[in-house]
Copies of this chain bind each other. A is one copy, B any other.
Amino acid sequence: MAFDRLIEKIIETQNPTVVGLDPKLSYIPEEIVNECFKKYGENAEGAAQAFLIFNKGIIDAVCDIVPAVKPQCAYYEALGWQGMKALAQTIEYAQSKGMFVIEDGKRNDIGSTMEMYAVAHLGENKVGENTFKPFGADALTVNGYLGTDGIQPLLPICEKEDKGMFVLVKTSNKSSGELQDRVLDSGDTIYNAMGKMCEEWGKESCGKYGYSAVGAVVGATYPKQLSEMRKLMPHTFILVPGYGAQGGTAEDVKGAFDERGLGAIINSSRGILTAWQKKGLDGKDFAKGAREAALEMKADITSKIPQIK
Contacts and interface: CB of A to CB of B under 8 A. Distances in A.
A116 interface: yes
Contacts of A43: 127-128, 130, 132
Given A80-B134, A146-B173, A148-B178, A117 B197 contact: no
A72 B116 CA distance: 10
Number of copies: 2
Contact of A109 (B79, B106, B116): B106
A16 B16 CA distance: 51
Contacts of A134: 44, 77-80, 83
B127 A47 contact: yes
Nearest to A179: B147
Contact of A183 (B125, B132, B178, B185): B185
Interface in A175-207: 175-180, 182-186, 190, 193-194, 197
Contact of A88 (B37, B81, B116): B81
Interface in A123-137: 125, 127-130, 132-135
A149 interface: yes
Contacts of A193: 179, 182
A138 interface: no
Sort chain A's interface into a size bin.
35 or more
Nearest to A186: B182
A283 to B, nearest CB: 17
A155 interface: no
A171 interface: yes
A22 interface: yes
Contact of A146 (B25, B114, B132, B175): B175
A143 interface: yes
Contacts of A114: 74
Contacts of A87: 81
Given A22-B113, A116-B78, A144-B179, A128 B42 contact: yes
Contacts of A113: 22, 72, 74-75
Given A106-B108, A168-B146, A125 B79 contact: yes
Given A106-B109, A130-B43, A193-B182, A80 B175 contact: no
Contacts of A119: 78
A55 B146 CA distance: 28
A83 to B, nearest CB: 7
The 3 closest A-B pairs by CB, nearest first: A147-B175, A42-B128, A147-B178
12 contacts: A42-B127, A43-B128, A47-B127, A72-B113, A74-B113, A75-B113, A79-B125, A80-B84, A80-B88, A81-B85, A145-B180, A183-B185
